[in-house]
Amino acid sequence: MTAMDVDFFNAADFLVHRRVREGIGGKVALIGSRTRTYEQLSDDVARLAGGLRALGLQPGDRVAMVMSDDVELAATILAAFHAGLIAVPMSTMLTSGELGQIIQDSGARMVVATEEHVDTVLSGIESGGVVGHLVIAGDQVPPATVRADLRVHRWADLFGDPQTPAVTDDDSSALWLYTSGTTGKPKAAMHRHANIRHVYDTYGRRTLGVRREDRCLSVAKMFFAYGIGNSLFFPLAAGGTTILQPLRPTPDSMCERLTATAPSLFFAVPTFYSSLAQSALPDDAFESVRLCVSAGEVLPVAVHSQFKDRFGVDILDGIGSTEALHIFLSNRPDDIRPGTTGKPVFGYQIEVRNGEGSAVTPGVPGDLYVCGESIAAGYWQRPEANQAVFQGGWLRTGDTYVVDESGYYHCLGRSNDLLKAGGIWVSPTEVEGRLLAHPAVAEAAVVGAPGGDGIEKPVALVVRSPGHEVGAGELIDWCRADLAAFKAPRVVEFVTELPKTATGKLQRYRVREMLAEIMAPRVAQ
């Protein structure tokens, strides 16, 4: 089979190279710390792919990436697709221990890191694994390592002779994204080349209506399924322009990017929209934006109203997942119903099912299931999780929903104990384990509680060990020292006991009730 065969499909060709063949190679594709046209990006990707293969990487090998959102990360993801390798972008928010575990789990032979993350990556990979190459994007002098078998390279030195795209097809593996998903422990959702085309066709093109003149700016980073769609798949598949933000997103940093680049589509999570609505940004900050998108967690009606009243731009609320690669249930530009997640995106089947697995009638709550071509092939080396989540072509999302008589879907929360902080999954048991490692903590329970803006935040209820004193700030810092900062509780409340069953099992629903009673007097003040 050759690259001209009917069955050939390579995501890098779909996203970048075909633009050059279409005659728009001079159009700007990426705006980051530097700008790349489609023609420049196409050449970068082909040459970088040649350099990766020259180091001995073979089709199907995993390339882990711990990089800020900039031109280098975009080019590296695309070069992996081009070379028939598997791109594995990883969270830059994790500690070295957390990062090391998932790098080893992935079996990555190479890790590419921007220089600000090199020390964390080195600490994570020097304990073992099969990583043979560390690539550094930036001007930092390659550091010495304790592993004699680890070769260190500069990203800019990898560019070799241009390589034609690897002979891949729809079902070739292209992208692994790690998620805590429905079971808490990080695992890789494995996506095909064709999944990238599918999420563009269904959500990017038919729902958002992304077009060639659009410029996309995303708060969510490219190591998220939501972020990689917003910043890479949708704008490039449409022949548009993506605006990358290497810096940590804050209202001020995003406002500077908005002013300098004039995006037409803006993507964020509810927590960030709440921060924007309450910020000191000028009311015309979103003057260039025709539409905003929200996902990751439920968008409260009040946040939607506050943002639109201040900035004059509508927000489309939707739900997606790492396992589905992007949004499958959404409001539409011509059909926005605040307080709902809208209706199924074209190309997806949605069902709300009861505990026996049967579809329920409107008005009856149940578990949300989705079926569509972008669903992951499964989790890497997680047979039990696969059995629980991927069921006969359907994905069990772990969310509880109800659909009304008009066909709009309403989220009622999670079907299990997982919660979200800033749109990112958090496993309560992981945070509780860290709290219990503190000598002053006898018992701990972590649940989600709505803040003043109605968005859920992790809160810990703690029983102190006899004879020990510890403050809330100390325990929050203790969690942040070993866990990614977003996992740490925002608030710690001290109690004398936690509710349990007769067999000693924590009753998490009663913990939520206890927390509500504690917080009620403060809300009333």
Could you report the per-residue pLDDT of 475-504, keeping only the tens digit for each? 999 999 989 998 999 999 999 998 875 545
Mean pLDDT, the chain, integer: 91
pLDDT value for 3? 46
pLDDT, tens only, 208-243: 999 999 999 999 999 999 999 999 999 999 999 999
CATH 3.30.300.30 placement within the chain:
427-524
Q: Residue 125 half-sphere exposure, CB side, CA atoms within 13 Å? A: 31
Enter the pTM of the model: 0.84
Task: Write the DSSP string, 234-270.
Answer: HHHHTT-EEE---SPP-HHHHHHHHHHH--SEEEE-H
CATH 3.40.50.980 placement within the chain:
11-168
Write down the residue that tokens 């099992």 correspond to: 505
pLDDT > 70? residue 1: no
Task: Write the DSSP string, 319-347.
Answer: EE-TTTSSEEEE-BTTB--TTS--EEPTT
Percent of the chain with pLDDT over 90: 71
Question: Which one has a higher pLDDT value, 210 or 160?
Answer: 210
Q: Cβ(112)–Cβ(118) under 8 Å? A: no
The contacts of residue 90 (CB under 8 Å, 6+ apart) are 64, 65, 66, 99, 102, 103, 178, 223
pLDDT, tens only, 244-280: 999 999 999 999 999 999 999 999 988 789 889 888 9
Write down the residue that tokens 């890098």 correspond to: 12
- CATH of span 187-414: 3.40.50.12780
- CATH of span 427-524: 3.30.300.30
Q: How far apart are CA 355 and CA 343, in angstroms?
A: 23
In angstroms, the Cα distances linking 52 to 81, 307, 435 are: 11, 45, 42
Q: How far apart are CA 485 and CA 490, in angstroms?
A: 10
CATH 3.40.50.12780 placement within the chain:
187-414
Residues in a beta bridge with 267: 218, 293
* 277: phi then psi, degrees, rounded to nearest 5: -65, -30
- CATH of span 11-168: 3.40.50.980
Of 185, 163, 222, 19, nearest in space to 29 by CA? 19
